[in-house]
Chain A
Amino acid sequence: MTLGALGFAWRSLRRQPARAALGILGVAAVGALLFDMLLLSNGLVLSMRQMLDRAGFDLRVTASDALPGQGPRLPRGVETAKSLAMLPAVRSAIALRFADATLDQPGGEPLDASLQGIGGTGIRPWTLQSGRDVSGPGEALINESTGRALNVQPGGTLRLHPTCAGASSLPAVTLRVVGIATFPFDGLSSATVVTSMESLSLACGSNDVDDADMIMVASNDATGSEVASDAIRAAVPDLRVMTNEQLVGRFEGGGFSYFRQISTVLTTVTLAFAVLLITVLLTVSVNQRLGDIAALRALGFTRGRVVSDVLCESGLIVGIGGVVSLPLGFLLAAGLDAILKRIPGVPTDVHFFVFEGRALALHVVLLTGTALAAALYPVWLVARLPIAATLRNEVVG
């Protein structure tokens, strides 16, 4: 082992294993929390982006700047989707309309469900598990949790009571289940029913069969979403086109920003605790060794060298604790993620804690800053140590 500052600090830690272990475990716990806060700060945004990309559609066309499903309807949405699908830059376009519904559950409470009407041909945002896709009026595609709750399989029927904007006391509608699918935005126990646009209009008692809330567009892989977006804007200048990135940006500026704010506050508190913990440990350690440090100074060790010893000790505690904090942080993140995903309505594919290289780099930077900040007071003690007076006090004491 070297007799340099780092070797010295290492031996100093080994000499007092209980104190060293306390410091390292403290930093590991605080570092795990810090790491999780960093994963949380951007995790939901990243996860949402990944989820949107996985659905296979990169553009959303709406009637206004409001988020899809929250603004006015697109008149003749199905017809517009069909015409957009003909554009060379577009691979597929489908029209979607949203409503709520309750499903009759044999021998149980009615089940709240999300009802979607689809128009147009081409790729779908869901993955078929069994049966086939909706191809005409009176047919329904449901998710697995709906199938389980209603105990219905393809070939069976379901009875739903729609809740549509501007309509009240609508009669119940019976649909024939033709398939079971996995939907990208489904929560753990959410119920989803997809039917044709005609069936949804009929259920809602409206004549606007062609109207949609949103058109989902998959751009041509060869040309990309920007070219498709420009082509759609040129074709339907009255409508709004939003890329996945823009949509995520809207989420980020809205509800998702709360996670970032919470993360920032908790990160600050966590770092403050880490600084206090290490400062206390180092200060106690330095105070116990004032005589040794004064003797080293008398023997010719420079002020810079004894300061380096303290900085290295702080760096070692934070460094080792920081490394231990990573697996601990991943474990903690997995547990917290599982708890948060139980919130009703949260899609099962969404994750609150998502790893990214940037978070790891920031973790390292923040812990380095913590080591330096925590060493400030002990370093000041060591740098200002009066050699002669300390040696005298040690003998008198």
Chain B
Amino acid sequence: MPAGPVTAVHDVSLTIAPGDHTAIRGPSGCGKSTLLHMLGCVDTPSSGTLLFSGRDVSTLSDRDRSLLRLRQIGFVFQRFFLLPMLTAAENIELPQAEAGVSKVERRARTRELLEYVGLAARADHRPSELSGGEMQRVAIARALANRPRLLLADEPTGELDGATGDQIATLLDRVSADGTAIAIVTHDASLAERCRRVLTMRDGRVESEITR
């Protein structure tokens, strides 16, 4: 018998302003990743409205949504998803190349980002030659490559040990302090505590919201 439709996120109203540092918490299956995917314009709400800089995302074509993600949204994944055949620098260059940034500009931006995440010496290393924490730092640099207005991170410390997770959390704090809005889905209480706003979800709804 086919399974019926599941409402993953229900009746959620959320605004993320420039510079916001938001954590989304909750038990597995509560809809937090779906919410993050909707914020990142990779999932479409079946009802309701999603506005990005005042534009209704549902009216955009698939291509325009892709371009919106490319230029305005950065993604950091739990499993990094660095391309194994590219070096760290090339992984960071990739979204810039796709956005049409000139070679000279993207090389300079990549150097700047590698220094920002503390991996200037690892520019020519492939992901297989990097540790988990280093890979996630490269992934954060890649997400920031096109100077996005919003950075979304799905369990960014989920694959890392405590100390490495702390380093990533510190890096994300710094990104936020530099003016990029961040929304993080996490089970990691220490990571959530560093965010100014914490949303707790249950059964697809926002159960509580704490702003510090």
Contact = CB atoms under 8 A, between A and B. Distances in A.
B85 A394 contact: no
B73 A300 contact: yes
Interface in A276-311: 291-292, 295-305
Interface stretch (B76-84, B111-119, B163-171): B76-84
Contacts of B95: 299-300
Interface string B80-119: 0101111000100111011100000000000000000000
Q: Could you tell me the dominant secondary structure of chain A's interface residues?
A: helix
Contact of A299 (B69, B90, B93, B158): B69
Interface bracket on B: 35 or more
B176 to A, nearest CB: 20
Contacts of B209: none
A11 interface: yes
Interface stretch (A133-141, A153-161, A193-201, A384-392): A384-392
Contact of A12 (B33, B85, B155): B85
Nearest to A387: B42
A300 B99 contact: yes
B66 A300 contact: yes
A22 to B, nearest CB: 18
A298 B85 contact: no
B155 A395 contact: yes
B193 interface: no
A165 to B, nearest CB: 76
B67 A302 contact: yes
Nearest to A295: B81
A3 interface: yes
Contacts of B142: 299
Contacts of B93: 3
B26 interface: no
Interface in A167-189: none
Contacts of B40: 298
A303 B94 CA distance: 16
B79 A299 contact: no
Contacts of B83: 292, 296
B79 A388 contact: no
Interface in A369-397: 387-388, 391-392, 394-395
B98 A388 contact: no
Contacts of A4: 97
Interface in A50-92: none
B85 A388 contact: no
Nearest to B66: A302
Contacts of A388: 33-34, 37, 42-43
A395 B90 contact: no
A14 to B, nearest CB: 7
Contacts of A14: 85
B21 to A, nearest CB: 21
B175 interface: no
Interface string B39-77: 010110000000000000000001100111111011101
A394 B79 CA distance: 8
B155 to A, nearest CB: 7
Contacts of A295: 75, 77, 81
Contacts of B43: 387-388
Given A3-B93, A299-B70, A305 B81 contact: no
A302 B63 contact: yes
Given A292-B83, A388-B37, A388-B42, A3 B90 contact: yes
Given A299-B98, A388-B34, A395-B79, 15 more contacts: A3-B90, A3-B93, A14-B85, A15-B84, A291-B81, A298-B69, A299-B70, A299-B74, A299-B143, A300-B67, A300-B99, A391-B154, A394-B81, A395-B78, A395-B155
24 contacts: A3-B94, A3-B97, A291-B79, A292-B81, A295-B81, A297-B42, A298-B40, A298-B42, A299-B75, A299-B94, A299-B142, A300-B68, A300-B95, A300-B98, A300-B99, A301-B70, A302-B62, A304-B63, A387-B37, A387-B42, A388-B33, A395-B77, A395-B154, A395-B155
Interface of B: 33-34, 37, 40, 42-43, 62-63, 66-71, 73-75, 77-79, 81, 83-86, 90, 93-95, 97-99, 142-143, 146, 154-155, 158
User: A-B pairs with the 9 shortest C-beta distances?
Assistant: A300-B70, A295-B81, A300-B69, A388-B37, A11-B85, A388-B43, A3-B97, A15-B85, A387-B42
Interface of A: 3-4, 11-12, 14-15, 291-292, 295-305, 387-388, 391-392, 394-395
